Structure 1
Amino acid sequence: MSTPQSPMATGFTAASTADDVLAGIDLTGKTAIVTGGYSGIGTETSRALRAAGACVIVPARDLAKARKALDGLDIVTEPMDLADPESIDAFAARFVARGEPLHILIDSAGVMACPLERDTRGYERQFATNHLGHFQLAMRLWPALAAAGGARVVSLSSRGHRLAGIDLDDPHFERRAYDPWIAYGQSKTANALFAVALDARGKAHGVRAFSVHPGAIVTDLARYMSEDDLRARGAIDEEGRPAVDLARGMKNVAQGAATSVWCATCPQLDGMGGVYCEDVNVSPVMPPVDDELALGFQAVGVRPWAVDVEAAERLWTLSETQTNVRFPAY
């Protein structure tokens, strides 16, 4: 039976932090990999997991930047570029060769609303990085996840999924006009659907998957937005400081990391999976509105297309074809 996509009594709120969620949880002896774990929400996620006792590994495209951001936190950094399939394979092979289980995989890295760029395969950058790279990573790490006897995979989606479903016939904008926000929305829908399909396959092996909207937090993810745009959206104030306004879904990084670590560690979710979560809870399914972009990051809820089982299976088939990686990957 699948997990109901409906809120539960968690005892946490939108204001809860990663440390609040992890209070009383001992992760000693557990290993976590956090992509994007050296920037913004990812850094706080990595710090909180390490503080709770986990061995944390952060794969990084820019090792110097990662080591500087994580200095003093006793976190391992290793090279990996989500836009480079060979780099993903090399990182995963090194980890799997250690013969150790992987208890937590948090897919926090991403790119948002960038100009049209393509990788060496001709794939559109946001779909390739945000979804396909993480798909390939999870598949290559599958032996270690299955060996954990109870692993969790957390895929960072976003309320941006409301902007678009997935065009399975033209995911890389080869025949349609490129829109950076539609491309972002498509990739975030893919992140949510990936959790649905992975959980369906993984639960028999003790591997459960969740997708997460962390909150709207101004980090490096917004590098392609101008200050004027951020200010117009209320994301920063007149002095350029990030806004924190829970009523509008605007959080600080400690609050933004809370739902990810909750999905990755909380006993409340034992036996559950395949659901989209936000504000440290399972989200309700909400109908779409006419102008999703105008709605911004307000209003809690996941759109039906991001938790649709049939759409998740179609995306899974496309992902296997485009990465040439199959499940199980060993």
Structure 2
Amino acid sequence: MNFSIIRVARTILNVTDLDKSRAFYVDALGFIETERTNAHIYLRGLEEAHHHSLILQKAEKPSVEAIGYKVEKEEDLIELETLFKSKGMKMKWMAEGTQHALGRALRVQDISGLPMEFFCKMDKAERLLQRFDLHKGSRVQRIDHVNCSVANVQMAHDFYVKELGFACSEDTVDEAGHLWATWLHRKQTVHDQAFMNGVGPKLHHIGFWLPDPLALIHACDVLASLGYAQSIERGPGRHGLSNAFFLYLRDPDGHRIELYNGDYLTSDPDNEPIHWDLDDPRRQTFWGAKAPDSWFDEASVVLDIITREEVPLEDPILEKKKPEFMI
């Protein structure tokens, strides 16, 4: 392949009340507000040197407009267009200046129906890593990954690995040996993009990297003190898969955010994927704590890149079940 995808770089969430969303993300969780307009809030983590990694966009209903990946050079966008065109995928060019602080971008409805976006250029912003006076809430550092619910995990895995150059760090198989979930990466960590078996296409969560595990605990204290205890959906805990510490939250519109720290390096190309059995009690939660039904059953709907209507949902080809160790 003649292109280089660097990493997952941003997500656009449609929200119904910008003030309520700002209170949650900025005042409670400590995201940095780069800029605000009447219809948008642009947020980033303390470590990030680009304009934003999360856009909160005013809308009538919650949804996901796009999941954005940064590529190495402008020419990569042309190569990606050629690939997507050869596969008959729905595409849309967005000229530089169409989206605030972003160069031209190529949007595509991917193999599962997810609204993906690829771009090279974004405005820069001050990295605030050592502005400790601004480290608030969970002290969010950067965007780390997205996890999506799709009807056919094997199809999504094959396209991202064989056509887009992702590598698999870990996966989950059911009792029949079918691929139930997969963790794929371009940057040298466990994942940029995960897919798991379920009704889809939907965005299950966006993961943001924290400076250390204690930041998860502190985030819980801050959230509870500000009246957001009901927003804590799952955790804190440690995943078996990825080895990372986690805390899952629901924002005022129900979008799911994961606060995340402690996975591992995946730079060596000869690393083999770690395979997990679906019912291994250490897989999802290394300590064995029960996950709520909402974590398995609920996720954010995504939009068509052309019509901006909700993408129709499909039932998974594999049995959608809650792993037995959670029962």
Normalization by structure 2: what TM-score?
0.29
TM-score by length of 1: 0.29
**Structure whose residues are more often helix by fraction:** 1
Which is strand-richer, 1 or 2? 2
